[in-house]
């Protein structure tokens, strides 16, 4: 209850600052916000677009959240997302019966995400390498690897600015407009992690390891195992974010600058913070993010330049994410004071 | 000229007053970065502004915040039902624009840089970029030979057909120029054409690094075909020239789409023109006409492509001054510096350019096609 009140207050603050920015440059802020809402939620098509935009963010948000619950600062979702996307797309080169094709692509994509998270866990547990460092570096390796595959190996022979498109039998069926049945992956993963973290023994151990590693260890919980579990689950979730972006959203391909995968991984961090690192909160946080993104074009029509729209979006997101970010930082600092042997 | 413009403005105001708030609207949708690139996007906006004024229309525009929003943005614009025409500016809309046109058959669309996909409610605005590219290639190659360079270069954006067509023309023009030199001036070594794809249109830092590498490799004539990215190539060229104590190149850069000489006066010798403004203007005319969609292909015969003329240079210096662009001096000084650079290279360069342009207009030269990855690969193999 308190969390919701805090979020509403943060939202109000962000909206007001955003309005002040627009007003200061002589724009009509309330007209712009109204345009944002019509653009994102004005009709069924718009709502479908907004939901479709938020689905991968749920998954990358979960990646960060499950890490944070285990006491990790996992920012590897971007790289895992890219690899998940390119592996899922590459499955289009196989010929398999429709439907099964989709399941195989999801399975291999999950495997790729988990494999990309594995070195992070190994380096952390055997060499004490901070996951912040290793995930940043692996993100770049994944970025260039994906770019290489997309441009050199998977590029469409005719148009060149994107890869081939996903065969029909490997796509999620369309539900409405841009929204496809890929929502089951995002919502399913959120519900699963909610159940796992709060109603399963090993999930409980993950949270205990995050809250107080010493106490957890004293209670006979393997903190290392909890961390590995959190990293692997996060890797799978992030990989699926990339997979559903390719298999479940127009244009069913990856563009040559990777732009249609955008910053889904990094945006997931903000989504997780808005959602208080809680799987159900993340569903809300991702939807909120989707609204801001999808409504932007209509704001542009109100004479608000793209740069100002991005400032307003940024201000609102930062305000919404601030309470949880502060809490997380405080906990990290407390942790640093009592160094925990791995 | 000025009188005509004032009269037009008065007419436009009267038109607005008569039609009142029922004024028809058009909308520009930019795929990336939006206005301010001093090139492609600004030219599209310029054409739309002219059309809006001439036909008494209200002009709106907005820019994609990311490619993730292409389809939902275009749908959202179409759903307003307010626009007689939505102009998609940029090749990156290749998938989303036809999809939107299929979803909203009552809405008219224009695709700058792309085809109309045989859709009745869409006009494709295409250019023979090879022509502008080839003209720039002729000049670049002859200047390179005059200064004893082993190569010429280009900084390109993404691997997409409009950029490929520029590249193909550039390569062809360079080879034609070497032959011309051997026939008319004297013996010449073979020239290499080095083209670097930065992969983006909004990365000036990347463009600068690419141009610096080209200069180090001996390519001191560099064509920019990368939108905002090649603004960085201009920086690199000017810096290298100033470091060598020159006020004119070499090294020289060449602009694209707009007449971009004013950005670095003295160091940009010319521009491969592509009249995006004319195309957008024609698209608005089409939307008001009620005719079915088709592909409008603009080339040198329609004055849609070309090598920047003195008049182009003056027009764009004026436009830049009016838009508050920080020119390196008064407009007259800038124009003098640009024309001075043109006079600093051997006279025969311009003779060859005129000859090539004449052949092109007469249809005596067949430029290589470069609409697919396979075709550009062939061109690269033939004119390395």
- Whether the predicted pLDDT of B240 surpasses 50: yes
- Whether B79 and chain A come into contact, CB under 8 Å, resolves to yes
pLDDT for A300 beyond 90: no
C-alpha distance from B166 to closest chain A C-alpha (Å):
15
Q: Do A158 and B373 touch (CB under 8 A)?
A: yes
Task: Look at B69 and A297 and tell me if their CB atoms are within 8 Å.
Answer: yes
How much is the pLDDT for B300?
A: 92
Best of B34, B68, B89, B200 to substitute, by most chain A Cβ atoms within 10 angstroms, is B68
Question: Roughly what angle, to the nearest 10 degrees, separates helices A201-211 and A183-199?
Answer: 80
Is there a contact between B158 and B177 (Cβ–Cβ < 8 Å)?
no
Strands B268-274, B295-298: pairing kind: unpaired
Query: What ipTM does the predicted assembly reach?
Result: 0.90
Q: Which domains does chain B have, with CATH numbers?
A: 2-128+277-302 (3.40.50.2300), 129-275+304-382 (3.40.50.2300)
Q: Which of B76, B97, B372, B380 to mutate to test the interface with A (most CBs of A within 10 A)?
A: B76
Domain boundaries, chain A: 59-268
Residue B13's contacts (CB-CB under 8 Å, 6 or more residues apart) are none
B66/A contact by beta carbon, under 8 A: yes
Model pLDDT for residues B341-381, shown as the tens digit of each residue: 999 999 999 999 999 999 999 999 999 999 888 899 999 99
Closest CA in chain B for residue A164? B95
From the list A147, A161, A253, which residue is nearest B160 (CB)? A161
Cα–Cα distance measured from residue A183 to residue B24, given in angstroms and rounded to the nearest whole number: 40
CB contact under 8 A, A161 and B34: no
Checking if the pLDDT of B11 tops 80, the result is no
User: Are B66 and A259 within 8 A, CB to CB?
Assistant: yes
Q: What is the rounded CA–CA span in Å between residue B14 and residue A291?
A: 40
- Structure tokens belonging to residue A320: 């919404």
Flag if A157 and B65 touch (Cβ within 8 Å). Answer: no
Subunit contact A155:B373, Cβ cutoff 8 A = yes
Q: Among candidates B227, B115, B93, B237, which has minimal Cα distance to B163?
A: B227
DSSP conformation class of B248: S
Q: Considering only residues B320 and B216, tell me which one the structure prediction assigns the higher pLDDT.
A: B216
In chain B, positions 19-38, which contact chain A (CB-CB < 8 Å)?
27, 29, 34
Kindly report the number of other CB atoms within 10 A of residue A174's CB atom. 14
Q: Is A140 exposed, middle or buried (0-12, 13-18, 19+ CB in 10 A)?
A: exposed
Going by C-alpha positions, the residue among A302, A296, A189 that lies closest to residue A239 is A189
DSSP string spanning A221-266? Answer: --HHHHHHHHHHHHHHHHHHHHHHHHHSSTT-S-BTTSTTTTTHHH
pLDDT at B6 over 60: no
For B133-164, the pLDDT digits (tens) are 999 999 999 999 999 999 999 999 988 889 99
Full-model pTM: 0.86
What number of other Cβ atoms are within 10 A of residue B381's Cβ? Answer: 8
Residue A278 has pLDDT above 60, yes or no: yes
Mean pLDDT throughout A4-29? 91
Chain B residues with CB under 8 Å of A52 CB are 72
User: pLDDT value at position B13?
Assistant: 46
Percentage above 90 pLDDT, chain A? 80
pLDDT at B17 over 70: no
pLDDT at A3 over 90: no
Joined tokens for residue B194? 């080095």
Is A4 at the interface with chain B, CB within 8 A? Answer: no
Q: Kindly determine whether residue B79 and residue A43, on different chains, have CB atoms separated by under 8 Å.
A: yes
| CB–CB contact B71 A255 (8 Å) | no
**Count of CB contacts below 8 A, A vs B?**
114
Q: Give the pLDDT score at B132.
A: 95
The predicted-structure confidence for B59-99, as pLDDT tens digits, reads as follows: 999 999 888 999 999 999 999 999 999 999 998 899 999 99
Query: Does residue B1 surpass a pLDDT of 50?
Result: no
Across chain B, what does the average pLDDT equal? 90
Question: Could you tell me what percent of chain A has a pLDDT over 70?
Answer: 98
**Which helix (DSSP H) or strand (DSSP E) does residue A174 occupy?**
strand A174-176
Residue A338 pLDDT class (50, 70, 90 cuts): low
User: Cβ–Cβ of A301/B27 closer than 8 Å?
Assistant: yes
Annotate B339-354 with b (16+ C-beta within 10 A) or e (fewer). Answer: bebbebbeeebeebbe
Nearest CA in chain A to B25: A301
The tokens describing B24, both together, are 């028809």
Tell me which residue has tokens 């441009």. Answer: A151
- Does residue A46 sit at the B interface (CB-CB below 8 Å)? yes
């Amino acid at each position: 209850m308190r969390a919701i009140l805090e979020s509403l207050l943060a939202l109000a603050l962000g909206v007001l600052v955003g309005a002040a920015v627009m007003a200061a440059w002589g724009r009509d802020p309330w007209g712009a916000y109204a345009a944002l809402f019509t653009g994102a939620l004005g009709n069924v098509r718009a709502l479908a677009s907004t939901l479709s935009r938020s689905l991968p963010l749920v998954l990358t948000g979960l990646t960060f959240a499950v890490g944070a619950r285990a006491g990790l600062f996992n920012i590897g979702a971007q790289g895992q997302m890219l690899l998940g996307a390119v592996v899922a797309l590459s499955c289009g080169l196989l010929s398999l019966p429709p439907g099964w094709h989709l399941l195989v692509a999801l399975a291999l994509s999950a495997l790729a995400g988990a494999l990309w998270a594995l070195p992070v866990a190994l380096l952390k547990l055997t060499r004490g390498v901070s996951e912040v460092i290793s995930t940043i570096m692996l993100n770049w390796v994944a970025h260039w690897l994906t770019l290489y595959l997309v441009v050199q190996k998977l590029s469409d022979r005719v148009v060149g600015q994107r890869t081939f498109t996903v065969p029909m039998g490997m796509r999620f069926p369309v539900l409405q407009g841009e929204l496809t049945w890929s929502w089951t992956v995002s919502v399913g993963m959120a519900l699963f992690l909610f159940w796992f973290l709060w109603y399963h023994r090993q999930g409980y151990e993950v949270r205990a390891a995050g809250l107080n590693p010493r106490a957890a260890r004293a209670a006979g919980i393997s903190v290392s195992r909890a961390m590995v579990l959190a990293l692997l689950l996060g890797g799978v979730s992030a990989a699926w974010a990339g997979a559903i972006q390719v298999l479940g959203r127009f244009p069913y391909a990856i563009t040559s600058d990777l732009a249609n995968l955008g910053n889904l991984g990094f945006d997931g961090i903000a989504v997780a913070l808005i959602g208080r690192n809680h799987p159900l909160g993340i569903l809300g946080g991702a939807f909120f993010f989707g609204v801001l993104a999808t409504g932007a074009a209509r704001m542009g029509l109100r004479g608000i330049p793209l740069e100002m729209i991005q400032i307003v979006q940024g201000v609102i997101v930062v305000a919404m994410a601030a309470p949880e970010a502060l809490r997380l930082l405080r906990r990290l600092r407390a942790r640093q004071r009592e160094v925990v042997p791995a | 000229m000025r009188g005509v413009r004032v009269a037009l403005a008065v007419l436009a105001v009267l038109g607005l007053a008569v039609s009142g708030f029922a004024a028809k609207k058009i909308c520009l949708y930019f795929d990336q970065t939006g206005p301010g690139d001093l090139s492609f996007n600004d030219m599209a906006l310029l054409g739309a502004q002219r059309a809006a004024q001439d036909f008494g229309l209200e002009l709106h525009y907005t820019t994609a915040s990311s490619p993730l929003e292409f389809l939902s943005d275009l749908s959202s614009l179409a759903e307003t039902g307010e626009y007689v025409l939505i102009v998609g500016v940029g090749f990156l809309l290749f998938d989303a624009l036809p999809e939107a046109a299929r979803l909203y058959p009552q809405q008219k669309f224009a695709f700058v840089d792309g085809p109309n996909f045989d859709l009745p409610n869409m006009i494709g605005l295409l250019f023979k970029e090879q022509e502008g590219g080839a003209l720039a290639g002729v000049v670049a190659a002859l200047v390179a030979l005059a200064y004893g360079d082993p190569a010429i270069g280009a900084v390109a954006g993404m691997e997409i057909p409009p950029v490929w067509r520029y590249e193909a023309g550039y390569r062809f023009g360079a080879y034609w120029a070497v032959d011309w030199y051997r026939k008319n001036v004297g013996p010449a070594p073979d020239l290499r054409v080095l083209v670097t794809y930065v992969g983006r249109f909004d990365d000036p830092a990347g463009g600068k690094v690419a141009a610096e590498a080209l200069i180090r490799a001996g390519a001191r004539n560099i064509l920019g075909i990368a939108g905002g990215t090649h603004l960085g190539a201009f920086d690199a060229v000017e810096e290298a020239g100033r470091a060598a104590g020159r006020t004119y190149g070499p090294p020289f850069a060449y602009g694209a789409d707009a007449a971009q000489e004013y950005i670095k006066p003295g160091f940009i010798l010319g521009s491969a023109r592509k009249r995006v403004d004319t195309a957008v203007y024609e698209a608005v005319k089409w939307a008001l006409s009620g005719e079915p969609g088709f592909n409008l292909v603009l080339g040198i015969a329609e004055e849609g492509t070309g090598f920047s003329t003195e008049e182009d240079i003056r027009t764009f210096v004026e436009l830049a001054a009016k838009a508050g662009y920080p020119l390196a001096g008064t407009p007259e000084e800038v124009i003098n510096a640009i024309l001075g650079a043109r006079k600093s290279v051997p006279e025969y360069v311009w003779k060859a350019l005129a000859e090539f342009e004449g052949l092109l207009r007469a249809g005596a030269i067949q430029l290589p096609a470069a609409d697919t990855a396979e075709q550009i690969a062939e061109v690269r193999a033939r004119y390395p």
